[in-house]
Amino acid sequence: MGTTIQTVTPFVEIMDCTLRDGEQTSGVSFLPHEKLMIARMLLEEVNIDRIEVASACISEGEREAVEMICRYAQNIGALHKVEVLGFIDGRKSVDWVDSCGCKNINLLTKGSLRHCTQQLKKTPQEHIEDILDTIHYALSKDIAVNVYLEDWSNGMKDSADYVYQLVDALATTHVKRVMLPDTLGVLNPLQVIEYFRKMKKRYPEMHFDFHGHNDYDLAVSNSLAAVLSGARGLHVTVNGLGERCGNAPLASVQVIMKDLFHAQTNIHEEKLNDISRLVEGYSGIAVSPNQPIVGENVFTQVAGVHADGDSKANLYCNELVPERFGRKREYALGKNSGKANIERNLKELGVVLTPEQSKKVAQRITELGDRKEIVTQDDLPFIISDVLKHAVPAEKVKLISYLVTSAYGLKPLANVKVEINGSRYEADSTGDGQYDAFVKALRKIYRTYLNRTFPILENYSVSIPPGGRTDALVQTVITWRNGNRQIRTRALDADQTEAAIKATMKMLNVFEEQQTP
């Protein structure tokens, strides 16, 4: 018997659960204003279809967050996209959602017989009656209702008749969506296909969502299987946040739907990296460097043979081009770089070297790589200068002297003297830390004496070089933004502030080079 192939390109509705399910990640708790900022970016920039923002009746902080998000969403005409998880608790959850100004409730029901009888201590019919009473009350308050079947995956495995009994009852109501979670992350794609096809065959007109958990690292694969089998909506979280191993990551689900299944979504892909960084900052959960789409290293080629192939015919590129996500491809510099990587980086900088000079630079980069030090493209001019013993680039900004002080109860103070293009300037400033005071003094010099803007600090990373000890050198990598150009420099020193200052002076020399016509 042949397999039926869908010929119509489907539209897949995406609901982001970062602000509800993602907050169940160990150690993650968003403040109300942080929830608002994430919701704003998801709705306005990422263009997500729906957001689940909280659980009802949890705390006053949750109430404040939901009220803020609903006010904002109403102002931009997106209140219909905001949803709150509610419970079968009589009128309590519905009244809570209504009092916050939200117009959508996602009712959590029991999708397996074991959960119904052993957790609720109720018969299926008793649970169904409670569900119907809550749905009817919500609808009477003009609140739209979606229903979760918690533990649906095990329900289909062990008690399919119970699942059908429950959904038969829901089919008689005005529920908008029935949401099918793999609550414990126990399904594989073949099982998802089997169970979804059974649900679609029995309820062909019903809107089903799939909610995948990643315990076996199959949340994304299972999401694809669900859409292949008729799911009209998928649930995701930014960076895959969620309980235990997390949920299906938004970025991965989006690109797989588009590239491998040719499904249509409303997602603005160029904003996926931005929302990832925002959630990373607020959650405190770092994104793995090799996380698909949004990881720091995913558009960085390390092997020289790859750079060589890209320069000839894009032999090592696929549809996941970095520009699609507001990023750019980089060619790492290290012991595996090879000639092609170095040449690509030099070309981007506009630097031309003889073969012998290139060989010397490659040797130095290999030495640094053997010591596990980071080498960025912006470090290249300084490596060249050091290796070839001539000014490439010219040191247009020189640090003459600086003094930073710190005292209990007082803000740190910095006095800075620099030479910029042959002229000397001095300024002092206070800051929230010694380095902050130093940078503010530099900003004052550029603003007061040069009437020029100063690059914007984007990222500041301090670490001990791999293999080092706590009393070894500190490595500082700082990323700045100058218009549409990014500058990233690195410095090593025994003192964290000194390392940051050295990296900043490197940045300023690159910055001045960029100002040259």
Termini Cα distance of the chain = 69
Closest CA to 105 of 154, 65, 50: 50
Look up residue 472 and give its DSSP letter: S
CB atoms under 10 Å from CB of 284, counted, come to 10
Pairing mode of beta strands 330-331, 300-301: parallel
Q: What is the dihedral of CA 158, 164, 170, 176, to 10 degrees?
A: 80
CA distances 451 to 13, 149, 326, 432, 446, Å, are 50, 62, 31, 24, 6
CA dihedral of 331, 333, 337, 338, whole degrees rounded to 10: 100
Q: Which residues are catalytic?
A: 20, 150
Tokens 């090592």 belong to 316
Distance of CA 475 to CAs 4, 384, 483, Å? 57, 20, 26
The candidate with the shortest Cα–Cα distance to 94, out of 144, 49, 41, is: 144
Is residue 72 within 8 Å of 40, Cβ to Cβ? yes
